[in-house]
Structure 1
Amino acid sequence: MKLLICLSILLLSAGLFAQQPFNGVESNLGNLFRLSNAKSRSISPENFNGAKGGGGKATTGTGANASRELGQGWKVSPSVDIAPGQTYTIAEIDGPGSIQHIWMTPTGNWRYSILRLYWDDETTPSVEAPVGDFFGQGWGRYAALQSLAVCVNPGSAFNCYWPMPFRKKCKITLENIDVQKMVLYYQVDYLLTDIPSDAAYFHAQFHRTNPSHTRRTTSYSTT
């Protein structure tokens, strides 16, 4: 009788575990074996809205001249030009979901390119910082950086791997406050998936007191 009770408890526990699907957001070496119903998507100058199968189909773009003998599928649109004073919308995504990776290579003065991220119905950004400082390049010139959250590779290839969940919507913009045009190469990889009720929102703010003190704060918050 005791054996049957123990087996029943084990089966019940296994059933409860099976009823909790993996949403894919917290992927790591310890759970690579778990299957997920999350839909992976990617936004870039080749695929502005992250449409499934939408990459590599551009016929016009900043690389059109270089790829003129190669044709469609050969990085015809690897980047975008952002004029002085222009705020460019990098991504606008309907949720629920989570940003999993951002890569970008911006030209010009990185202190004059302002990155902003808005979650859900926000009118004030949760992330607002110069693009160089956000990726750990506070001196305005390339410095190799290798960490779990942020990697900056040769050629000023900025990468961040902060999981950034959102419930309704995500909007990412970059404002060029310089007097010169800038060129931006970028890719935003994200998941469309269920987000747990206890998930907080990613925040990062840049603060500076002239002439010499600069700091950046990064956090997760429920507001």
Structure 2
Amino acid sequence: MTPELDRLSRPSRAISRSISAENPTGGPGAGGAATEGPGAQAAGAMGRGWKISPCIEIAAGATATIAAIEGAGTIRHVWLTAAPHRAWRGSILRIYWEGEGEGKGKGEGEPAVEVPLGDFFCQGWNVFGQVSSATVAANPNGGLNCYWPMPFHHSARVTVENVSPDPMTLYYQVDYELDDDIPADALYFHAQWRRSNPVPRGEVHTLLDGLRGSGHYVGTYLAWGVNSPGWWGEGEVKFYFDGDTEFPTICGTGTEDYFGGAWNFDVPGTGYTAYTTPYLGLHQVLKPDGLYRSQQRFGMYRWHIPDPVRFHREMRATIQCLGSGPGDGNGLGYRYRPNSDDIASTVFFYLDAPSAAASLPPKPTFLSMEVD
């Protein structure tokens, strides 16, 4: 029996709650009681309780708080969908723990999660890609689900900022438990986004840097846009932690190998072949269309759930932007070459602090992210 199923067989004092546009406070017996909202006209004479407020609209440049929770508990599931699809890279999901960002936290007030909405759910290209994994599920057509457990001791806050020039419509549901038995040493969930567009030739793309504390690195999602012909995924993923300097403790053998594939993801006669599994996948292969989409683009994920990367003092991680071409008589049949691709990464980790301000990348210009 899996730990999740085993948990269901045990008695618990936890109290189930859910926040949505139909119950924005998550209060008991408060769902579906709206008297006005975007669905009022569609409900017509059906009246209160008949989907009066199924969604919210977020104006250009505005930020909506979609969940504000007081007390100890765990967020268990987040579902949302947004329209239009270009809002996936034109909005930012942020999550704060224990009052961070409100002037009363112990850290720098930074969010624990700060990621474009689509990238958090492995949808970095504004184009839907099916994901069937243990912690992220993306279902037709744009139903985005997250099952990363997110415990907290005093409070949690979830916001969505619309950084696009157009309004966005957001449907959402945050399912959580209130529970006074959260272990005192429970780690906080974090996610960070970085983009190198392009990666300077001969340099690496940084996944995570300057992280201080103790915790577990649990996941990587990459939205990779190829800017050179030939094979692009020779690069190694490297994890440096707890005193590593020039060389890492963990070093992979290639990009496709890290994501559980092999031999360029190329099935002879088929070419690039997408797959999605509980812990890893190449779920998105976007090919040039001979017109406006000139470059190949890919989406891939790896969840370190059975194999977390554990660190106790510090951590950083990188991936090489490395391709290969004809071997020029070197006997191998190919030769490595540094590429200069567009790589956007989202990394997921648990940390013994509600804020990881020291490891945050420079504030990105999110408005430059539109790709579709």
The equivalent residue for 1:6 is: none
Greater shift, 184-193 or 66-75, is seen at 66-75
- Determine if the alignment matches structure 1 residue 119 to structure 2 residue 86: no
For the pair 1:163 / 2:149, whether they are aligned, the reply is yes
2:48 aligned residue: 72
| d(CA) in 1 for partners of 2:48, 2:139 | 28
Q: Does 2:195 match 1:195?
A: no
User: Partner of 1:52: helix, strand, or coil?
Assistant: coil
SS of match in other structure, 1:29: helix
Once the two structures are superposed, residues 147-170 of structure 1 have per-residue CA deviations (whole angstroms, 9 ceiling, x without a partner) of 110001102010001100011110
Match of 2:125 in 1: 139
Matched to 1:45, the amino acid is A
Please give the alpha-carbon distance, in whole angstroms, between the structure 2 residues aligned to 1:49 and 1:178: 27
Pairs within 5 Å for 1:1-223: 28-108=4-84, 109=86, 110-122=88-100, 123-193=109-179, 194-211=181-198, 212-223=342-353
Task: Report deviation, 1:56.
Answer: 1.2
Q: CA deviation at 1:27?
A: 6.4
2:350 maps to amino acid:
Y
Q: Which amino acid aligns with 2:48?
A: Q
CA distance in 1, matches of 2:14, 2:40: 34
Question: What's the CA shift string for 1:64-84, capped at 9, x where partnerless?
Answer: 111112211111100000000
Query: Offset of 1:114 from its aligned partner?
Result: 0.2
Aligned to 1:15: none
Counterpart of 1:83, as a letter, is: A
SS in structure 1 at match of 2:185 = coil
CA distance in 1, matches of 2:77, 2:114: 17
Could you report, residue by residue, the CA deviation over 1:12-45 in whole angstroms, capped at 9, with x for unpaired residues? Answer: xxxxxxxxxxxxxx96222322111101100000
Deviation of 1:140 after TM superposition, in Å, equals 1.2
The corresponding residue for 1:3 is: none
With normalisation by structure 2, the TM-score equals: 0.52
Cα distance in structure 1, aligned partners of 2:77 and 2:3:
12
Secondary structure at the residue paired with 1:65?
Answer: helix
Deviations 1:44-77 (A, max 9, x none): 0011110001111111111111111221111110
Measure, in 2, the Cα distance between the counterparts of 1:142 and 1:35: 39
Q: Once the two structures are aligned, what percentage of the paired residues are identical?
A: 51
Q: Deviations over 1:82-112 (max 9, x none)?
A: 0000000001101211100000001132111
Q: Distance in 2 between matches of 1:189 and 1:35?
A: 19
Aligned with 1:143: secondary structure?
coil
- In the TM superposition, structure 1's runs of 4+ consecutive aligned residues that sit over 4 Å from their partners are none
For 2:42, the aligned partner's letter is A
Question: In structure 2, how many angstroms separate the alpha carbons of the residues matched to 1:28 and 1:134?
Answer: 22
Measure, in 2, the Cα distance between the counterparts of 1:31 and 1:130: 32
Cα distance in structure 2, aligned partners of 1:31 and 1:132 = 30
What CA distance in whole angstroms lies between the structure 2 residues aligned with 1:68 and 1:52?
A: 26
Q: After superposing the two structures, state which structure 1 stretch, 104-113 or 85-94, moved more.
A: 104-113
CA distance in 2, matches of 1:65, 1:144: 33
SS of the equivalent of 1:99 reads strand
